[in-house]
Chain A
């Protein structure tokens, strides 16, 4: 079975500071890993995905994530937070590429 754990349901950073959102996964086979962002009352937008190619994945809006098999992690980072980054972020794991299992989400607050 696959699962995802997101440590920290709420993260606050100052504008311009580093953003680090943590995601650890559990999977018996090599997984696909994803980060999605959700703004209030909207659907999910794909930020980036790992599909067994390069372990450092660059996404939209300056976000990137590194797949670390030894740590079973896929943490999301951005060097400098912007006010518009405030949103809910979800990490997801998939094995087949079809069924996704989502983490509980991390709410990012950016402080001016």
Chain B
């Protein structure tokens, strides 16, 4: 149980285009989902926290207009990288919890974004 999927697993796009990444909880309802960014050989950096039906809370330094997060249902959150640039190339990982105070996050397999 507690499986989180991401789609796509790998995407290459041209500079200036927008890319949408989906994060789904397959066998549980995820009241809270998180988006992380990971650079090569580095740790995960929390980008934002999203609760179903409300606006995402972004970490300091993360551009909310560039990284649009939507959590429209209890099983789906999307991250859209708008007007992507090469410096946005990274590994994006989502995670989900099943309720307030739940102590475990379940992570998706990640999406590798390469912006040319």
Contacts and interface: CB of A to CB of B under 8 A. Distances in A.
Interface of A: 32, 34, 36, 41-46, 49, 51, 90, 94, 96-105, 107
Contacts, number: 59
Interface stretch (B14-22, B39-47, B82-90): B39-47
Contacts of A44: 44, 93, 95, 107
7 tightest A-B CB contacts, nearest first: A44-B107, A43-B107, A43-B109, A97-B103, A104-B43, A102-B43, A102-B44
A96 B105 contact: no
B77 interface: no
Contact of A43 (B43, B46, B103, B110): B110
A96 B34 CA distance: 14
Contacts of A96: 101
